[in-house]
Structure 1
């Protein structure tokens, strides 16, 4: 037998060995991209040998399956390696900016590749593209030299590869079923779920396993005692609470009022950031507004990202920390699949949404349909739904707050009566480089030692928002109709020294908010000036209850429950600092814990969890009666 014939005889086995070696190397590369250096990646390999070898087997089987389908080694191998490189690169970027790994739910954002790429340095993208092209060239040339460019596997090997790969992939959908074979196998290998922290899951299990672990999504674990009878009891309880609250509320028809929710992208007061000094106050006008109206800080479940999660909690009054840790983004993973998604929009006959960016981001088009919005204007909109104001702010690629507010004002004028308007802005979105003509602020302090220039640029953007917001409020005050605005920042920008995160967990999850009723509303009994009680620190899930109180609006049993959550429970959010509990913060801005809740507080907490389960993952018993609507 000639050398060439002998090589061809053994080539399938050599190819399989090659898949294993490639997978081992790729895993180290992916881990190095995530950790920032090869030394840390090798240390992870040593520390997690079983997970590393298991991950190698997974990737090798995927490579085998791809080759079995395509049966052209240079094509399948190029595709496999390039996909892993892109996976590693995107994962590293998300870990940098969001402190969480790439997840299956993020794949729905692939249609927004242009917008996402604008947030990443051009040089990094170019390097990644060059590496991917080199992989294709090397595979084509190298495998040609080895005479392996033609058909690779015989039919039995191809069938086995497809079947085994398919079975393996389907098994991933049973990973989080604790009593299943797959879950037990993962447990024996030392793979932990790290339900309290996706970042810890990626750092310990590796990004590949962290990704796989998030395929099997559980919306929410069923709380103890869930039943139709229990939900009927809760409905009756909070109907009584609503009756008591409504004795002191004067407004019964919310459709006489206009309510505007404004999500101010990445807005937070930099002067409150620990160990950071700003040369001058960048937001004096918003600060004055906050001093004279209902205001405080909103406890956010995100840092550096997660905009849609805060929007979800504000709109629905549900809380992210009750959901399974595998459900990280309700907008993409939950709402589009719900038969009925309940939100503040249900209280209004007319509701319109505006977002000064692409509409497909976070599947907002699908989500807003579920929320009942009649129109959604965004940068993708055309014809009658086209945005009316699209001027970008100075050198920025994003539409400025001036234009965003003008779009909202246009919508206010379209209806004589009341309506609900949702506006999500983009001006202060990352990246924070060279966006403005000049920067008037100087930043000092250890919190800004790594990103001083970006923080300076970001602060200039806040100052521009400050001017735009005051001008917007002044225009509302001139309108002869009752208008109330909930204005809030969704999260802090991921600019500050990460060493401070664990120490200042609470402060770094507190963007600003205020609720403002215009002059007409205050003069005609549709709004108040300032609510002081329980307004200092508010969870995003409880803001709507505070808004309804500001508007003197009678409440349904559901919003009676949320009012109890607002008044009697600490503000709550998901905790990013290695805890299975919620991040709870009292009105003194001090972190507290579930174990510190009184019996009456615990009762409200458990009722709230049962209601959330019923409306999202349960039988929706409460959706069949008047629990959600004003009787």
Structure 2
């Protein structure tokens, strides 16, 4: 189009409005842009001419939208994929493009899911700002910056950015500096250069595009264009918001869509989860977990009445007790995958792998613990033992309290807090501190030092046995003993071992343990036998190390009580697991509560201790020690009397991250027999209702019990 034609067209356009006020300069400028026009140089403007700039076609905008969306998703993926340097942990991806390749190799379309979700964010910004050449560099720059932060955090802490980090940054941005590894300057400089180049490119594209990036151009003076933008913005926000609100709820449309496209939650490890499913999907899944339904009678008044009821119970219980738990050192030992292989249906071991622990169990409070996991779920068992709360009360959508619940809680009461000062609580785990977000959660619990394989608190002893990749129990015990024996103060010690973690690959030379099927039972597969043989040897090594540790504690002059329990069975019993009738047997592990010679409770054996679940350990420990209880522990004591063991519904396959959405939780009586909820008497039903009120108040409610001194002894 010649300049003369342009001038004629713009003049005629102005004339068409005869009888109306002339368009303002802004209106003319917008109209010119909408017609593919832009102002030329000052010479041209002085002559009243307008230079034409051809608008980009709508299809080109659509193509570039897709291209930029792909670049942004791959950039985010780079942030979590380029850090798989730790030999202990496997990565589901070896490179960024593997996420794309999965669509053809595994029919996994989680890449497309990430594109859709990020595309919705992209669209929201476009409909809000209506400038393609402004929003696009903003999105790409933000993706690069987030990827850089992910890269630094994974390098330093082996943990991705979590929803709780967003709150942390908002209140204390200085903590970002703790994510910076050595050599970070050059990566930061590289990203800044990338952002600068992006800005330059998009400024130029905006200059040559006659539409200047307007996706929706002014149509007339009725505000129709604004209405269209508002409608599309509302639609995008609604879809994205609904997905975020529902994706962590089992059985929801968003959960179904996510799973159908290849999302496989792997929440034991945030880095693995982000690598496998994309950091955006992994992040969104943790934003709005459903915790539990609000009890109908939940109110401040009902919680006051409840607190008063168990204050009275605590007074009755404390009448016959003379000591306090905090006057003793208490050691919780979560023994990874520890259980008696001889109790597995159809399995026979040629030698007893746990004679020492079997003897210890005969002399003190002990029995079997009902586990919610099989082959996994360690952190959930640990959470229940430290808090006294039960997974059976949570909604099935809450699969991992350590990741989904604790980071966002304002009040997190745990057993170790009875020991007062933070310095009195220590934790040991000879592995990665970021697993299950323990490092973050332990700080909220009030644990001062967490000794792991990583700085700042490196565990003292890291010896391994045979060709096993895991630190031995003997080494872990020795690290803890040195801290216990170094002070006369009472302490709380949380320990989670790693020696018997899956998988099991003939780690021990000259292994004398041999597994076989019992007469009349199905024959074991070769791989199953190898795993059981290796595992049985590990159980024996734990048996020896545990006895040696208790002997060391016996030599101390300060009273020490140990709570030892296996978190779950190893997921190696495929033959037994194929029979659903074996469900209960595959979810019972061994536990005991033992006190050293300096303790008044040496040799004590609680009544009703044959069966339990980890939520009762604190109350059982107080009973074993003859220690006074808080109203909360009084409640758990009565709850254990009524229902000795309780866990959510379980299955005979390796613990995943989709809990069973339906079915009655498992309840066992004092003899290990299943109990039906419909048969509960009025007292038991009252206790169950109170449990849900307590758990809701602590985790999802107003926290009324905190001000009612429910967790305090002697109030």
Tell me the TM-score normalized by structure 1: 0.71
1:45-84 maps to which residues of 2 (within 5 A)?
A: none
**Whole-Å separation in 2 of the counterparts to 1:599 and 1:282:** 44
Residue 351 of structure 1 deviates from its aligned partner by 1.3
What SS class does the counterpart of residue 580 from structure 2 fall into?
A: coil
Match of 2:604 in 1: 529
Quick check: 1:172–1:216 contact (8 Å CA) kept in 2?
no
Compute the displacement of 1:198 (Å): 9.3
CA drift of 1:424 comes to 1.0
Equivalent residue, structure 2, for 1:490:
567
1:475 aligned to 2:552? Answer: yes
Offset at residue 254 of structure 1 (A): 2.7
Aligned to 1:561: 635
In the other structure, the counterpart of 1:318 is 389
In 2, the alpha carbon distance for the partners of 1:198 and 1:391 equals 32
Alignment of 1:71-150 (within 5 A): none
1:227 matched to which residue of 2?
299
Does 2:671 match 1:588? Answer: yes
- Please say if residues 274 and 447 of structure 1, whose CA atoms lie closer than 8 Å, have aligned partners that are also in contact: no
Contact 2:426/2:450 (CA < 8 Å) preserved in 1? yes
Shift of residue 65, structure 1, vs aligned partner: 7.4
- Note the alpha carbon deviations across 1:357-396, whole angstroms, 9 max, x for none: 12111111111111111222111134xx332212122222
Structure 2: gaps (5+ residues): 1-56, 69-98, 124-131, 145-159, 166-210, 218-228, 267-276, 652-659
**In structure 1, what is the equivalent of residue 593 of structure 2?**
515
Query: What residue number does 2:94 align with?
Result: none
Aligned residue number for residue 32 of structure 2: none
Counterpart-to-counterpart distance in 2, 1:479 and 1:331: 34
SS of residue paired to 1:248? coil
Whole-angstrom distance in 1 between the partners of 2:216 and 2:368: 59
2:700 to 617, 620, 623: 617
**Structure 1 partner of 2:48:** none
Aligned match of 1:352 in 426, 439, 443? 426
Distance 1:466 1:261 in 2: 16
The answer on whether the counterparts of 2:429 and 2:496 sit within 8 Å (CA) in structure 1 is yes
Residue number among 285, 289, 308 corresponding to 1:217 in the alignment: 289
SS in 2 for 1:451: helix
Partner of 2:507: 435
Q: Which residue of 1 aligns with 2:330?
A: 259
- CA drift of 1:406 comes to 0.5
Which of 443, 462, 465 is the aligned partner of 2:539? Answer: 462
From 320, 344, 347, the equivalent of 1:248 is 320
Does 2:369 match 1:295? Answer: no
Q: What whole-Å deviation, never above 9, does each CA across 1:516-551 have from its counterpart, x for those lacking one?
A: 111221xxx2444322x2211101101111111111
Aligned 1:368-379 pairs, distance under 5 A: 368-379=442-453
Distance 1:218 1:158, change over 3 A: farther
1:417 to 463, 475, 489: 489
> Match for residue 390 of structure 1?
462
Report the alpha carbon displacement of residue 217 of structure 1 after superposing the two structures with TM: 1.1
Distance 1:432 1:310 in 2: 22
- Counterpart-to-counterpart distance in 2, 1:239 and 1:529: 26
| 1:152-208 deviations in Å (ceiling 9; x for gaps) | x99567999999777643331232799xxxx99769x99999xxx999xxxxxxx99
**Equivalent in the alignment of 1:451:** 528
Moved more, 9-18 or 397-406: 9-18
Q: How much has 1:502 moved relative to structure 2?
A: 2.7
Q: Does 1:407 align with 2:479?
A: yes
Partner secondary structure for residue 287 of structure 1: helix
> Which of 237, 240, 253 is the matching residue for 2:309?
237
Is 1:626 the counterpart of 2:698? The answer is: no
Once the two structures are TM-superposed, the CA of residue 431 in structure 1 deviates from its matched residue by 2.0
Worse overlay, 574-583 or 317-326: 574-583
**Structure 2 CA distance for aligned equivalents of residues 394 and 505 of structure 1:** 33
2: CA distance, partners of 1:276 / 1:15: 61
Contact preservation (8 Å) 2:461, 2:479? yes
Q: Which residue of 1 aligns with 2:413?
A: 342
Q: In 2, Cα distance between the equivalents of 1:448 and 1:30?
A: 36
1:455-505 Cα offsets, whole Å, 9 max, x none, are 211111111111111111111122222110000111111111174363222
Aligned residues: 517
Cα distance in 1 for partners of 2:462, 2:581 equals 41
Corresponding residue for 1:540? Answer: 614
CA-based RMSD = 4.4
CA contact (8 A) 2:310 2:634 kept: yes
Superposed CA deviations along residues 428-467 of structure 1, whole A, max 9, x for unmatched, are: 1122113222322112234843522122111111111111
1-side partners of 2:212 and 2:514: how far apart? 67
Q: Which moved more, 1:329-338 or 1:55-64?
A: 55-64
**For residue 187 of structure 2, what is the aligned residue in structure 1?**
none
**Local SS of the residue matching 1:476:** helix
Cα distance in 1 for partners of 2:311, 2:713 equals 10
* Alpha-carbon distance in structure 2 between the residues aligned to 1:337 and 1:542: 24
Give the 3-state SS of the residue equivalent to 1:222 in structure 2: coil
Q: 1:627 to 1:173 in 2, by over 3 A?
A: same
After TM superposition, give the deviation of residue 239 of structure 1 in Å: 1.0
1:223-273 deviations in Å (ceiling 9; x for gaps) = 11001111111111111111111112121x333211100111111111111
Query: Do residues 279 (structure 1) and 350 (structure 2) align?
Result: yes
What is the distance in 2 between the residues matched to 1:443 and 1:501?
19
The alpha-carbon distance between structure 1 residues 541 and 501, as it changes in their structure 2 partners (threshold 3 A), is farther
Match of 1:503 among 572, 577, 581: 581
| 1:411–1:162 Cα change, 3 Å | farther
**1:214 offset after TM fit, Å?**
7.0
Structure number with bigger Rg: 2
Gaps of at least 5 residues in structure 1 are: 1-7, 20-25, 42-51, 80-102, 109-152, 200-206
TM-score in terms of structure 2 length: 0.63
SS in structure 2 at match of 1:236:
helix
